[in-house]
Amino acid sequence: MSKHWLRSIGLGSLLAVGVTLVLQPSAPAQDNEKAVDIISKAGKFFFKEDNVTIKMGQSIKWVPLDAGTHSLVATEPAGAFEPTGSFSKPKTAIRKFDKEAKEIKYHCIFHKETMKGTIKVEK
Ligand SMILES: [Cu+2]
């Protein structure tokens, strides 16, 4: 009886390893999210990419890489996405875009001169 029990354990472990290997490849894919880094140069903040094009249904995740507080709002058309409110590292801000838009202009209300960008949402 104890031999049979050990054999069951062995088989269970093999199955567990198999399941782990099958599940791993799907983990890194984050196609529905586009990351836009917020960087600083000489004490000023910038979007690493000012102009971003995404597909309808995708999200943009803004990622502050340096100390600094940001708050993003759409200016044209106004309210094209819900304002992010203030956020700073290690927090990020995410907005999903599920309507087609030729161009959305936006900026950070704290760093208007340098943190300006456009988002194009394609079908
Ligand atoms: Cu900012």
pLDDT (tens digit per residue) in 21-38: 444 444 444 679 999 999
Integer angstrom CA distances of residue 79 from 23, 33, 52, 104, 118 = 40, 21, 18, 10, 14
Q: How many Å lie between the centroid of ligand 1 and the Cα of residue 5?
A: 61
Q: What is the pLDDT at residue 9? A: 45
**pTM (two decimals):** 0.75
How many whole angstroms from its chain centre is CA 7? 46
Q: What is the pLDDT at residue 30? A: 61
Q: How many Å lie between the centroid of ligand 1 and the Cα of residue 110?
A: 5
pLDDT (tens digit per residue) in 73-117: 999 999 999 999 999 999 999 999 999 999 999 999 999 999 999
- Kindly state the helix (H) or strand (E) to which residue 65 belongs, with its residue range: none
In order of start, what are the domains of the chain with their CATH numbers?
33-122 (2.60.40.420)
Q: What is the pLDDT at residue 4? A: 54
Q: How many Å lie between the centroid of ligand 1 and the Cα of residue 121?
A: 22
Integer angstrom CA distances of residue 118 from 47, 67, 77 = 10, 23, 11
More confident residue, 1 or 33: 33
Q: What is the pLDDT at residue 54? A: 96
Phi (first) and psi of residue 6, to 5 degrees: -60, -40
DSSP type of residue 58: -
